[in-house]
Structure 1
């Protein structure tokens, strides 16, 4: 995810949307959030609301990835 030339807070959060380090079954879930985050970065200017949106999206991504992990345990 390219967040160069963005506010440091935006760039800091953008790094949490990488997914290539995850196993393939988790990448499918995480990629959805990456793509949405990238769309937001493409559409919106830096600012407090974008920072909050990205932070909440990271939280949602983490929950979805954990849900996928839990589904493997069944």
Structure 2
């Protein structure tokens, strides 16, 4: 799932919106025990990241 939090391939203005989610995902992966709730946390964080990026490009 962590592959979906990468942001360096994005244009700079989208990287600014995406990077904080990547950093938090990395923190969760390293510091939170591996269990179903961690997976849910990462999945919902990914949903939030996607929404934030879409909000930046929305007209």
Coarse TM-score class (shorter-chain normalised) = over 0.9
String of CA shifts for 1:16-45, please: whole Å, max 9, x gaps.
100011000000010010011011112112
Task: Say if 2:14 is the partner of 1:26.
Answer: yes
**Coordinate RMSD, CA, aligned:** 0.8
Structure 2 residues not aligned, in runs of 5+: none
Q: TM-score, normalised by structure 2?
A: 0.94
Number of residue pairs the alignment of both structures matches: 59
Higher RCO, 1 or 2 (CA under 8 Å, sep at least 6)?
2
Q: Which runs of 4+ in 1 moved over 2 A?
A: none
Larger Rg, first or second structure (1 or 2) = 1
Q: TM-score, normalised by structure 1?
A: 0.76
